[in-house]
Amino acid sequence: MTTTIKDLGEIELLNRLKRFMRYGQIDDDIAEINISNKSLLINTDLLVEKIHFSEEISNAKDIGWKCITTNISDLICSGSKNILSFNVGLVLPPNTPWKWVENLYEGMWEAMQEFGGEIIGGDCSCGELKMISITAIGEMNPPRLHRGNALPGDYIVSTGIHGLSRLGLALLTSEKLPGEVQISPQLITRAINSHKRPYPAIEALNALIECKPKSTSWRAAGTDSSDGLVESIRGICHSSNCQAVLSKNSLLKDPDWPEGSTWDDWVLYGGEDYELILSLPKKWAEALSKKLKTAKIIGFMKEGKPNIFWDNLEEINFEQSNIFKHF
Amino acid sequence: MTTTIKDLGEIELLNRLKRFMRYGQIDDDIAEINISNKSLLINTDLLVEKIHFSEEISNAKDIGWKCITTNISDLICSGSKNILSFNVGLVLPPNTPWKWVENLYEGMWEAMQEFGGEIIGGDCSCGELKMISITAIGEMNPPRLHRGNALPGDYIVSTGIHGLSRLGLALLTSEKLPGEVQISPQLITRAINSHKRPYPAIEALNALIECKPKSTSWRAAGTDSSDGLVESIRGICHSSNCQAVLSKNSLLKDPDWPEGSTWDDWVLYGGEDYELILSLPKKWAEALSKKLKTAKIIGFMKEGKPNIFWDNLEEINFEQSNIFKHF
């Protein structure tokens, strides 16, 4: 029988492609090249119509904003604040209105005004579905955050709340809300905004850099929570070969967030949040949670086979994790 | 009425997108960033199934080779010989056999063994059609070839023959040959090989660098002939704001190439050839055509509204140019 990539799943697919790539490149989303003692971080993100965006719930400007900011988030969660450039590859059906393309670029432009960088090149082609491929380049300065940099004894820090983008998606697609609860208009606004206009954690990265205690090195593990909170921690555990213990009472939620197990699941597995998830030496973690109001220590790393537990020793369920749904 | 991108065509679409991009970026396919006094060239190419490749005529290994080498050709024709890295964005239908993906990467690998560079990162996603987006990075050293660098008085040099890839496509798709002529088995092999395994003009770039007369500066205009011989010259004329005059008797053809107007058209407009088309100071052009056996001076540049003429003053027909067929 022929093995398809659906049979393999994304993780095994990437695993099998390792031998074609530079050693150690697969653990992080981001690539790096060194030139004249400077390091550049390079990130490619694909957005495919019907998979990553749909015109029913997002207009072209929002899609433009999102495809630049998701890329910037990957650079930021690797430690780069200095965004240099974007190459944009665009596949469009021939009947695409010019206005749609113009709005897409205006959304990209707005994001670049906010976070830096400029479009320096790209390619375009016709195709049956819209597809946007963006390669962003940023300059690297310490701290160079890797998924594989965590050590047992680190504290795990989330720089903000999770679940809003998942709720926003539910609201935009008129999905029934869990428990059919009523939610506040403020929460509705915050959720829709989080989904349509994600805002990369540049302030959190600045705070992380500013608050580093002199007594600790720049060693820090990090990623963004674009694939969901649990998935981002799972990635750090796997790449760093250690275990995470999360405190059930420390999870950050919106002040108006309803109670209930599905609501909790949206916080844990929702995805498309763009907070930094960090594994830091204790002192640095404490300094960050003091300096950055939105940040909180949510657990710690310990030795052991890569896995995540609650502090009551319950194992965390990965079935809902986004990573298993890409194919 | 809504203006679609099909109404605009590729040139007008790119024109309208200019205002979102760094100044001067649109004339060349390639982007450039400067870091610590080094320049990097960055190129993105999209390959979409049914548009740029089809599994009926190319296997996955050939497609892998081609998507790396077309990118390398863009770097080489901008002056970069030092290929650093590739980011690969891959959209695949879930039922794609793993073997196909493996063969694709093996083809890419073979090309990197030949020309340098390594895959350093990327992204993958499911989607209804296969799509490959590659961003290549090369280090820039003189000469920095731009389409816009030509001056009246330059000679136009082609570093090799044209039309083979177009013939290869015809043979692979069982298209009737113009005039239903018989062609030699050697020509058949060369044509199919040109189409399936294009070979970027690295030797020509080396020769260009080595033969530069001391008395001339590094100023040179260049592009590759991936969109066809005439289209590459048209691009140089437009970006440099001058006219080209081509010598009808100097066009390079395969020694076994048949006679006939359609056969001539394939040489002029065929596309997917990867020779360098250069506009050089006379002395440099003469030195190159002496040093590189395959190269020939095929015309000259003069002042005037961007256009191309034969040396008998006949205007060249653009209708057949590939550039108008992308949407």
What confidence tens digit (pLDDT) does each residue in B130-174 have? Answer: 999 999 999 988 888 989 999 999 999 999 999 999 999 999 999
pLDDT confidence band for A249 (50 / 70 / 90): confident
Domain count, chain A: 2
pLDDT digits (tens, 9 = 90+) for B234-247: 999 999 999 999 99
The pLDDT value recorded for residue B324 is 44
CB A133 to CB B89 under 8 A? yes
pLDDT at A76 over 60: yes
A117 vs A315, which has greater pLDDT?
A117
Do both A118 and A164 map to the same domain? Answer: no
pLDDT digits (tens, 9 = 90+) for A53-69: 888 889 999 999 999 99
Do both A247 and A152 map to the same domain? Answer: yes
* High-pLDDT (> 90) share of chain A, %: 72
Sign of CA dihedral A268, A269, A273, A274: positive
- Please give the residue range of the domain that contains residue B90: 31-139
CB A124 to CB B14 under 8 A? yes
Whether chain A has a CB inside 8 Å of the CB on B311: the answer is no
Selecting from A35, A90, A123 the residue whose C-beta is nearest the C-beta of B35 gives A35
pTM for the whole thing?
Answer: 0.89
Task: Name the strands in the sheet holding B118-126, side by side, starting at the edge strand that comes first in the sequence.
Answer: B31-35, B38-48, B131-139, B82-92, B118-126
Partners of A299 in beta bridges: A156, A246
CB B95 to CB A45 under 8 A? no
| Cis omega (within 30 of 0) for bond into B143 | yes
Whether chain A has a CB inside 8 Å of the CB on B23: the answer is no
Do both A170 and A77 map to the same domain? Answer: no
B250-255 contacts, C-beta under 8 A, 24 or more apart = B250/B296, B250/B297, B250/B298, B250/B299, B251/B162, B251/B298, B252/B158, B252/B160, B252/B161, B252/B162, B252/B294, B252/B296, B252/B298, B253/B161, B253/B162, B253/B163, B254/B161, B254/B163, B254/B164, B254/B187, B254/B190, B254/B191
Do both A158 and A255 map to the same domain? Answer: yes
Within-domain flag for B278: yes
Do both B170 and B318 map to the same domain? Answer: yes
Within-domain flag for B123: yes
B215: closest CA of chain A, how far (Å): 31
The pLDDT value recorded for residue B211 is 97
Do both B183 and B319 map to the same domain? Answer: yes
State the CATH number of the domain containing residue A113. Answer: 3.30.1330.10
A288: closest CA of chain B, how far (Å): 30
Within-domain flag for B182: yes
Do both A151 and A233 map to the same domain? Answer: yes
CB interface of B with A, residues 81-110, below 8 Å: 84-85, 87-92, 94-99, 101-102, 105-106, 108-109
pLDDT confidence band for A321 (50 / 70 / 90): low
* Residues of chain B neighbouring A124 (CB-CB closer than 8 A): 10, 13-14, 46, 326
Interface test with A, best of B2, B3, B4 (most A CBs within 10 A): B4
A177 vs B21, which has greater pLDDT?
A177
Of A93, A115, A139, which closes a domain? Answer: A139
Of A112, A139, A166, which closes a domain? Answer: A139
Do both B200 and B298 map to the same domain? Answer: yes
Mean pLDDT of chain A: 90
State the CATH number of the domain containing residue A280. Answer: 3.90.650.10
Within-domain flag for A77: yes
Do both B84 and B203 map to the same domain? Answer: no
Within-domain flag for B25: no
Within-domain flag for A220: yes
Which of A21-25, B6-10, B207-211, B311-315 holds the top average pLDDT?
B207-211
Interface confidence (ipTM) of the complex: 0.86
CB B127 to CB A124 under 8 A? no
pLDDT digits (tens, 9 = 90+) for A256-297: 999 999 999 999 999 999 999 999 999 999 999 999 999 999
pLDDT at A325 over 60: no
Do both B172 and B214 map to the same domain? Answer: yes
Do both B280 and B159 map to the same domain? Answer: yes
Chain B residue closest in CA terms to A11 = B124
Do both A67 and A193 map to the same domain? Answer: no
Within-domain flag for B290: yes
Within-domain flag for B22: no
Of A103, A123, A139, which closes a domain? Answer: A139
CB A42 to CB B101 under 8 A? no
Vertex A273: Cα angle to A271 and A262 (nearest 5):
50
Closest CA to B191 of B277, B298, B272, B111: B272
Helix H or strand E encompassing A202: helix A202-210
Chain B residue closest in CA terms to A16 = B102
Per the CB < 8 A criterion, the answer to whether A245 and A171 are in contact is no
